[in-house]
Structure 1
Amino acid sequence: MSLRSTLAATAAALTLALPLAATAQSLKMGYVDYQRVLLEVEDGKAAKTRLQKWLDDRQKEIDKEQESLRKEKELLDKQASAMSEETRVQKATDLQKRILELAQKWDRYRAEAANKERQEMEPIVSRIDGVIAKIAERDGLSFVFERRDSGLVYAQTQYDLSNEVIRSYNTLPKAAAPKAPAPTAPVAKDAPKK
């Protein structure tokens, strides 16, 4: 490479590098531990308490039915020798069917719990996002990262906005409790609008 080409390449590299270095120095960033914020804001604590109570109630119901089925199985095992083959097979089949139904019920409860959690947390997450945006605007932050999901491996704690987000969120006026959406009837595409 000639001296002229080397100088031109160096000049071009410097021309590109200087604005990037100046821009990088003016960028301000922060991060938030979203999971911690959700667990520590008052609304998040209340939502988790409601969800846990709901789950505990369902777990008690499942445990009660499971205990009943266990006792029936023990009774069937004790009385099996005194029953006809047909009766024993029928009772064992019925018991197996009820065990399967209980497992399906548990799966429905788990799906329902996930849906309830999403419904409970959605308005809280929206409010947290608003608080983060206000803090970022106030402090002139260019970026705010989520600590766990962003791939952030290390950041100094001075850039952690979590405590400030929690404090700011908890000072917001209380929002009305989330309401279940009203059921709507399907509308045809060509139906007149009201």
Structure 2
Amino acid sequence: MMTSLVKSVLACAALSLALGASAQELKIGYVNAERVLREAAPAKAAQARLEAEFKKREGELNDTGTKLRVDMDKLDKEGPTLSEAERTRRQRDLAEQQRDFERKRRELMEDLNQRKNEELAAVTERASKVIKQIFEQDKYDLILQEVVFAGPRVDITKKVIDALNAGK
């Protein structure tokens, strides 16, 4: 991500170009990257792949968590009637199961985040290629992705989404 300073410099440069272009009209476009990643078919397909890939592990983890809670509740209810040794053994077993559950949960989240980043990078790369094609074909002077405000006249986000959906 670009820092605010870099964004400001780019905006000033774009404004300078616009003000200095008295002999010719500048063609400027804006792409809402967040909208592209939310609405484009490749982004939706990536999300569906991730959900399918991690659905089984998430289900197993939820089942394990439910079983662990049931076992903890059972120990709370039966605790006063158990011998000290049996209660200690069960508490130790539940603590080990809890640690194992937390480890599996962390691993799942790490794996999911890594895969999300991979899928996001692939979609972003495709979107960048499409934006470059539009830039060259339509002879834009400048296309921005991150701006504070952009009017509908310069917003080419729909065009980028349509091109991605068409597989260009």
Q: TM-score normalised to the size of structure 2?
A: 0.79
> Which position in structure 2 is the counterpart of 1:163?
158
Do 2:29 and 2:154's aligned partners in 1 also have CA atoms closer than 8 Å? yes
> Which position in structure 2 is the counterpart of 1:87?
86
> Take 1:20 and 1:68, find their aligned partners in 2: how far apart are those partners?
64
Quote the RMSD (CA, aligned, Å): 2.3
With 64-73 and 75-84 compared, the bigger mean Cα shift is at: 75-84
Give the 3 Å change call, closer, same or farther, for CA 19–139 of structure 1 in structure 2: closer
- Structure 1 unaligned runs (5+)? 1-17, 174-194
> Which position in structure 2 is the counterpart of 1:128?
127
1:51 is matched by which residue type in structure 2? L
Give the 3 Å change call, closer, same or farther, for CA 163–112 of structure 1 in structure 2: same
> Which position in structure 1 is the counterpart of 2:63?
64
> Which position in structure 2 is the counterpart of 1:101?
100
Q: How far apart are 1:26 and its partner, in Å?
A: 4.1
Among all aligned residue pairs of Structure 1 and Structure 2, give the percentage whose two residues are the same amino acid.
27
Which deviations, in whole Å up to 9, do the C-alpha atoms of 1:120-149 show, x marking residues without a partner?
A: 232222111011011112222222222xxx
Q: How far apart are 1:20 and its partner, in Å?
A: 7.8
> Which position in structure 2 is the counterpart of 1:54?
53
Q: Would you identify which runs of 4 or more consecutive aligned residues in structure 1 move more than 6 Å?
A: none
Q: How far apart are 1:19 and its partner, in Å?
A: 8.9
Aligned residues: 152
> Which position in structure 1 is the counterpart of 2:3?
none
2:114 aligned with 1:115, yes or no?
Answer: yes
SS in 2 for 1:157: coil
SS in 2 for 1:159: coil
Structure with the bigger RCO (C-alpha within 8 Å, sep 6+) is 2
- Structure 2 unaligned runs (5+)? 1-15
Q: TM-score normalised to the size of structure 1?
A: 0.69
**Over alpha carbons, which structure has the higher Rg?**
1
